[in-house]
Amino acid sequence: MEDNNQQLIESVVAKAQAWLTDAYDEETRAEVRQMLDNPDKTALIDAFYRDLEFGTGGLRGIMGAGTNRMNIYTVGAATQGLANYLKKAFADLPQISVAVGHDVRNNSRKFAEIVADIFSANGIKVYLFDSFRPTPELSFAIRHLGCQSGVNITASHNPKEYNGYKAYWADGAQIIAPHDVNIINEVEAIAGVGDIKFGGNKDLIEIIGEEIDDAFLTAIKGLSLSPEAIERHHDLKIVYTPIHGTGVKLVPDSLRRYGFTDIIHVPEQDIPDGNFPTVESPNPEVPSAMAMAIAKAKEVGADLVVASDPDADRIGAVIRNKQGEYVLLNGNQICMILLNYILTRNAELGRLTGKEYIVKTIVTTETIKSIADKCGVPMFDCYTGFKWIAAVIRDHEGTARYLGGGEESYGFLAEDFCRDKDSVSAISLMAEIAAWAKDKGLDFLGMLQDIYMKYGFSREKGISVVRKGKSGAEEIQAMMKRFRENPPTELGGSNVTIVKDYGTLRMTDTTTGTTTELDMPTTSNVLQWFTADGSKVSVRPSGTEPKIKFYIEVKGTLESPEGYDQAIADAEAKIEAIRQDIGE
């Protein structure tokens, strides 16, 4: 073991010393020297034990010097590789163009400007946003401006130490096959810093801003389904927080355009800040991130609390329970409420023609399928990540109408003029739903209970197990291997009847022993177990964070609002039993 450690240290030292040449700036060289001089080589190993991979979603990592870090050189190599591929893929175009955006994180503007410089140095026209913007607006801009690609510098809701690089294709969606593999090959072909063209051509960089904002918000306003209800309840008290992120640019404006007149801010969190100083984690699914907004809601007696994560693609929502307490909706509930509303209103307005569809991811609640089935609208399951929802939209372009789609991780997309999850439209529609429910004499809780009574009660819980660094990555691989080779036979007292392995695209019926093929566009490292009583457990390593994720869903019944608390208690007990069974 000591020999292996010594070999690893020798390897990373050699890689680090290559970063001490004049090809790298002095700030980078100083950081590398400090790691080399430190007797504790942990930081050096983490920074250099591998190259930060340009994966199917781009890059994401801790900022700093090193091959396994987000810095101007790893960002530069990614951009040069993408530029090289664009010039091959669109060789017949007289002018290739891209849109470039960024969030509020430390170094995001710097990285975005470097990306713009590299594209322009390669003869590619760049539309660069004048300041931070929500991720979905970048997706919209690609389509609106007729670009061939786009890049957004963001690490979404990751901790402040992280940054990321999302690459998009001409349809405004994050890149999938075959372009993903082709781009990865081009990035890996960058032999060194000398291959990267850092010297920008300012004549090819055009600054964009308010005109795109207006076009995007105008399109979002067109999604409104109940303007009359908003007129009647325009003064609903809505607390909104961007959690120091990009949502402050557009969300309040969108709510005003919808017709809401009492939008209450959390002033401390309106301040864009990549250090996210008022929260431990800038993630709206974490209760502590919503604490200040909830405090404001209690102060003013708010009807609804909504939030967006730092790059404003995810939505958080808080409602009042029957005791008057503010409680978080989970991502499954948010997705379910939005899709139920969109389907119901389209039916009421006579807009369902038989050519509509919705989408959810495989780890999202199955209650959504029950709603779609009863509405007579097809529902498609896809892998986690909005690039897969976008792929379904692309497959049905011109033949069927997309009504909406979402995933349990607080992402929703109500439109097809953008191809990534969008909190701007989702928050606007959630506020509209509050007005619509009030028209029916319901508060948000009553509406949620109504859904459960009509379509079946479900309760979900997500568990994330963090394992950092090289050893953590190896441990996650070992966990997946163990689950694959020894799947559980019983969960929460109910027999496992179906096992789905998306790594092999095989589904096994354990009651009969028969195996069938799963119809998916590619393989994915995801396992699912279904039980006789309707429970579903999914497990997968995160593609963007050092963690393995478990998704537990259990079923129940709700016959009246009075039984809601008991239904939750029963479901939570079953979830805990399942958690024990899987050892997490």
What are the pLDDT digits (tens) for 56-84? 678 999 999 999 999 999 999 999 999 99
User: Which backbone phi and psi does 124 adopt, to 5 degrees?
Assistant: -100, 130
What are the pLDDT digits (tens) for 521-534? 999 999 999 999 99
CA-nearest of 459, 491, 434 to 565 is 459
CA-nearest of 63, 150, 157, 68 to 110 is 63
What are the pLDDT digits (tens) for 149-167? 999 999 998 899 999 999 9
CA–CA–CA angle 52, 9, 548 (5° rounding)? 45
Asked whether the predicted pLDDT for residue 1 surpasses 50, the reply is no
Residue 281: strand, helix, or coil: coil
CATH number 1.20.1300 given to 457-581: no
Domain ranges in the chain?
Answer: 81-208, 216-224+233-455, 457-581
Contact between residue 93 and residue 192 where contact means Cβ atoms under 8 Å apart: no
What are the pLDDT digits (tens) for 183-214? 999 999 999 999 999 999 999 999 999 999 99
Asked if domains 81-208 and 216-224+233-455 share a fold, the reply is yes
What are the pLDDT digits (tens) for 282-302? 999 889 999 999 999 999 999
Give residue 264's Cα distance to chain centre.
Answer: 26
Mean pLDDT in residue range 317-329: 93
- Alpha-carbon distance 487 to 280, whole Å? 35
Q: In CATH, which superfamily holds the domain spanning 81-208? A: Alpha-D-Glucose-1,6-Bisphosphate, subunit A, domain 3 (3.40.120.10)
Helix, strand, coil fractions of the chain, as percent rounded to 5: 40, 20, 35
User: Which backbone phi and psi does 428 adopt, to 5 degrees?
Assistant: -60, -45
- Alpha-carbon distance 341 to 368, whole Å? 12
Mean pLDDT in residue range 339-343: 98
458 labelled catalytic: no
- Alpha-carbon distance 215 to 236, whole Å? 26
Pairing of strands 315-320, 304-308: antiparallel
Which member of 149, 156, 226, 524 is catalytic? 156
Tokens read off for 293: 């907004």
Nearest 10 degrees: Cα torsion 521, 522, 523, 527: -20
Mean pLDDT in residue range 429-455: 95
Contact between residue 108 and residue 183 where contact means Cβ atoms under 8 Å apart: no
What is the pLDDT confidence band of residue 3, given thresholds at 50, 70 and 90? low
Residue 112: strand, helix, or coil: helix
User: Which backbone phi and psi does 362 adopt, to 5 degrees?
Assistant: -65, -25
Tell me what the pLDDT averaged over the chain comes to.
95
Pairing of strands 411-413, 490-491: unpaired
pLDDT attached to residue 392: 98
Residue 18: strand, helix, or coil: helix
CATH class assigned to 216-224+233-455: alpha beta
State the DSSP code for 133.
Answer: -
pLDDT attached to residue 101: 98
Give residue 432's Cα distance to chain centre.
Answer: 23
List Cα–Cα distances, 470 to 54, 214, 413, 419, in angstroms.
Answer: 17, 45, 35, 33
Contact between residue 313 and residue 103 where contact means Cβ atoms under 8 Å apart: no
Give residue 375's Cα distance to chain centre.
Answer: 27
Write down the H helix ranges in 313-398: 331-348, 367-375, 386-395
pTM score: 0.94
